[in-house]
Amino acid sequence: METNGEPITAPPNEAFDTLLVLDFGSQYSHLITRRLRDLQIYSELLPCTANISELPWKPKGIILSGGPYSVYEKDAPHVNWAQLSSLGVPILGICYGLQEIAWHFDNSNVLAGEKREYGHARVKIEKHKGEAVHADKLFNGLGNEMDVYMSHGDKLSHIPQSFSVIADTPNAPLAAIVHNTKPIYGIQFHPEVTHTPKGTELLRNFAVDICEARQHWTMDEFVGKEIARIRALVGEKGQVIGAVSGGVDSTVAAKLMNEAIGPRFHAILVDNGLLRQDEAKTVHKTLTEDLGIRLTVVDASQRFLDELRGVTEPEKKRRIIGRNFIEVFQEEAKKIEEAAASSPQAGEIEWLLQGTLYPDVIESISFKGPSATIKTHHNVGGLPGIMHLKLIEPLRELFKEQVILHFRLRCRLYFICNVPSGGPINARHVILPNARTKLGIPERLVWRHPFPGPGLAIRVLGEVTESQLAIARHADVIFQEEIVAGGFYREISQSFAAVLPVKAVGVAGDKRIWAQVISLRAVQTTDFMTADFWYPPKEFIKKVSLRITNEVNGVSRVVFDLTSKPPGTIEME
């Protein structure tokens, strides 16, 4: 069986024209992939040390990311140029990637700059019409000058042999270069960040005009092929169990699975004692009554809390929670399998559904080039050997914004507003006056702020106890109530109250108290890989603080987290 002439089991990098981004460690590497997908071009991020010759698919083009290293350093990462050249596809080097290209042709071409360049710069574009026919394609339609974002200390000292200059700045006279006969380009600035206003257009020039990649990576196309792929993988009798939390990621994954195989999908909500107030009841009602998904709620709260007793290290918390999740799944899978043995849905449970997203994958893997592992996601890699189920992750190739935006756009009534000229549409531009989507997903769920897999265990800093969890729940309820009442919920991407592992002196009823400190956090983001803190109005935060200190027993102070990502992460642990 095939879809549009392509095998239904084909992964996205085989079903769609794909650009490969090789990561040398820049904090912006993921944004290159994100911008390409905004252009409806599928892209994947791999470490610069990846063995490209072993890829089962051929990219339409390759982008070398920026990075924190100097190419001339002893331990600096380098790409395998023999493998790269053998593909015969266009190459674009960004920042460190530019220097990697120049260093490859002559390792004396790169040196430490006398003046570091961080922030805004203006590049002058040099035309080469009549010379190399491909030279002007990268900057085609971008004018004679463009504003860009620079972030580099090193720079090119010489033009590599057989290259020409196609852009310059006063501090970087070799700000962009092109090979005279091959489609190899290098730029010193970062087109992937929003501070380079025409950066997405430049990436489009490279991907579409130079690499000739088709812009056919759409969510509708993806969803149709993914449902067909699931059916092919699972077969006619295969059974799947899946973790659900009530969040957008797991709910969308469950909805896709339910559409693909119907009653042979068994959703499981593990009440690990780390959920928000009344979470299990709310999720059960939403999934069973609103979405028609078979759901089993497993109360394993005491099991998790016992295992977490005395544990304070964040990564250890995550590992404990991840291991127990898998064990509970296995136990529940056996029960479901036995119960279904004599029914029309009889069949062995072989698969475990997880709502893994691409940012989860990126943040959980430490490459030679990229930023070190930020955190371990309970549903990405490192699964214990005791798990005897095969993973099926229908959202693994997607950014959170792609998942959220797609299902917001599938509402009966919506309109788009305030889109920057030439810019991509994101979820913040979508207004939904109706309460239900065409797929039957309630609006309250589609707009719901993300909740982490480890739950409140990473919002209670330090040891997780029932008393600390009670404080976190109560404070969070107040925070969310006031966000909704103030009309701020949709302009915030994620928000929560965290219990800090410290106590502070306060005064209550003319008595001195020594009690807990609550940290409130709210961020705004389009991709959850980077985020800005949301700055609350004074009267709002004053009301929230007053309510928490008055209503939540054991709290003496409230602070507000004003940290962006990076340098912070969205969650506290």
Q: Over the stretch 460-473, which tens digit does the pLDDT of each residue have?
A: 999 999 999 999 99
Residue 510 is classified by DSSP as T
Which of 544, 395, 555 shows the shortest CA–CA distance to 479? 544
The mean pLDDT value of the chain amounts to 81
Q: Which helix (H) or strand (E) holds 1?
A: none
Average pLDDT of 18-42? 90
Q: Is 245 flagged in the annotation as binding?
A: yes
> Which range (270-274, 379-383, 447-451) has the least confidence?
379-383
Q: Is the pLDDT of residue 247 over 80?
A: no
Q: What is the pLDDT of residue 530?
A: 78
Tokens, residue 183: 């489609």
What does the pLDDT look like over 89-135, one tens digit per residue? Answer: 999 999 999 999 998 888 777 776 555 666 788 999 988 765 566 88
Residue 290: the pLDDT is 78
Please give the pLDDT value at position 234. Answer: 87
Query: Given pLDDT bands bounded at 50, 70 and 90, which one contains residue 339?
Result: confident
For the chain, the distance separating the N- and C-terminal CA atoms, rounded to the nearest angstrom, is 46
Residue 234 annotated as part of some ligand binding site: no
The Cα-based distances of 530 to 31, 72, 418 in angstroms read: 9, 29, 21
* Contact in structure between 87 and 61 (CB atoms under 8 Å): no
How many CA atoms does the CB half-sphere of 98 hold within 13 Å? 31
For 420, other C-beta atoms within 10 Å of its C-beta total: 10
CA distance 305 to 402: 34
Position 129 scores a pLDDT of 61
pLDDT of 276 strictly over 70: yes
Give the Cα separation of 1 and 22 in Å (integer). 34
- For residue 49, what pLDDT is reported? 87
What pLDDT shows up at residue 553? 92
41 or 133, which is more confident: 41
| CB-based contact 68:95 (threshold 8 Å) | no
DSSP per residue, 304-334: HHHHHTT---HHHHHHHHHHHHHHHHHHHHH
- Alpha-carbon dihedral 216, 34, 488, 247, rounded to 10 degrees: 80
3-class secondary structure, 221: helix
Q: For each of the domains in the chain, give its residue range(s) and CATH number, in order of start.
A: 12-210 (3.40.50.880), 219-397 (3.40.50.620), 459-560 (3.30.300.10)
What is the rounded average pLDDT of the residues 66-85? 89
pLDDT of 425 higher than 60: no
Q: Which of 197, 31, 163, 12 is nearest to 91 (CA)?
A: 163
Out of 30, 104, 134, 190, pick the active-site residue. 190
> Is residue 409 pLDDT above 50, yes or no?
no
User: What average pLDDT does this structure show over 539-568?
Assistant: 94
Average pLDDT over residues 151-176: 84
306 is in an annotated binding site: no
Supply the pLDDT for residue 89.
Answer: 96
Q: 48, 95, 211, 411: which one is catalytic?
A: 95
Is residue 521 predicted with pLDDT exceeding 60? Answer: yes
Alpha helices (H) along 235-383 = 248-261, 279-285, 301-308, 314-339, 358-364
Sign, CA torsion 510/513/515/519: positive
Residue 555 has pLDDT above 90, yes or no: yes
Is 162 within any annotated ligand binding site? no
Confidence of residue 274 (pLDDT cuts 50, 70, 90): very high
When pLDDT is cut at 50, 70 and 90, the band that residue 543 belongs to is very high
Average pLDDT value for residue range 277-302: 89
Percent of the chain whose pLDDT exceeds 90: 41
Contact yes or no for 357/400 (Cβ under 8 A): yes
192 noted as active-site residue: yes
Residue 536, pLDDT score: 93
For residue range 481-516, list pLDDT tens digits in order.
999 999 999 899 999 999 999 999 988 777 888 899
pLDDT above 80 for 262 = yes
Residue 61 has a pLDDT of 97
In this prediction, residue 5 carries a pLDDT of 37
* Annotation marks residue 128 as catalytic: no
Buried b (16+ CB within 10 A) or exposed e, 39-55: bbbbbbbbbbbbebeeb
> Is there a binding annotation on residue 251?
yes
pLDDT value at residue 166: 93
Does the annotation count 411 as an active-site position?
A: no
What was the pLDDT predicted at 144? 92
pLDDT for the residue 88? 93
Alpha-carbon distance values, 177 to 35, 98, 128, 147, 187 (Å): 22, 8, 11, 17, 7
Q: Which of 117, 192, 401, 573 is catalytic?
A: 192
Report whether 249 belongs to an annotated binding site: yes
- Helix segments in 154-278, DSSP class H: 199-204, 219-234, 248-261
Average pLDDT (8-13) is 68
Q: What is the pLDDT of residue 43?
A: 92
3-state SS, residue 121: strand
The reply to whether 248 sits in an annotated binding site is yes
Q: Is the pLDDT confidence value at 410 over 60? A: no
pTM exceeding 0.85 = no
Per-residue pLDDT at 214: 95
Q: What is the mean pLDDT of residues 210-220?
A: 88
Euclidean distance between CA atoms 201 and 423, whole angstroms: 9
Element (DSSP H or E) covering residue 101: helix 96-105
What is residue 387's predicted lDDT score, i.e. its pLDDT? 56
Q: Tell me, what's the pLDDT at 118?
A: 66
Reduced to 3 states (helix: H, G, I; strand: E, B; else coil), residue 216 is coil
Which is nearest to 456 in space by CA: 346, 321, 336?
Answer: 321
Q: Write down the pLDDT at residue 107.
A: 78
What are the CA-CA distances from residue 46 to residues 13, 103, 292 (Å)? Answer: 13, 21, 38
- CA 235 to chain centroid: 30
